């Protein structure tokens, strides 16, 4: 089954990349942009059918496999 993982910088982290994109958008006339944060999205295909089992494995990858860094990031698992 396919699984998605959204990884974002935690709010306390000053996201310089997001800030640079925000400034660029404003410069291009998109003055409605108030805040922009940039993270990453990981898509995985797992040889598992059970959604709960897949979620458990992905949580293990996040925590033990180094897929995210809890000091600076937060994650959200999206089952598809």
Partner 1 sequence: MALKVGITRFLGTNCDEDIRKWVLSKNHQAEYLWYEDRFDVNSYDMVILPGGFSHGDYLRCGALAAHTPLMKSVKEFAEKGKPVLGICNGFQILCEAGLLPGALLRNDSLRFKDELTTLTFKNTNNPFSKNAKTDQKIVLPIAHGEGHFYADSENLKKITDNQQVWLTYDQNPNGSLLNIAGVLNAQKNVCGLMPHPERALHTWMGSTDGEFFL
65 forms part of the interface with partner 1 (CB under 8 A): yes
Opening angle at CA 67, ends 46 and 78, nearest 5: 50
80 forms part of the interface with partner 1 (CB under 8 A): no
6 forms part of the interface with partner 1 (CB under 8 A): no
The helix (H) or strand (E) run that includes residue 18 is helix 16-27
- Tell me whether residue 69 or residue 78 sits nearer to partner 1 (CB atom): 69
Q: Which residues bind partner 1 (CB under 8 A)?
A: 12-14, 16-17, 20, 65-67, 69, 71-72
């Amino acid at each position: 089954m396919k699984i998605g993982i959204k990884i974002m910088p935690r709010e306390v982290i000053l996201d310089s990349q997001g800030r640079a994109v925000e400034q660029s958008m404003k410069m291009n006339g998109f003055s409605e942009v108030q805040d922009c944060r940039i993270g990453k999205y990981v898509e995985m295909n797992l040889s598992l059918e059970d959604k709960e089992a897949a979620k458990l494995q992905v949580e293990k990858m996040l925590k033990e496999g180094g897929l995210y860094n809890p000091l600076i990031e937060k994650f959200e698992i999206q089952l598809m």
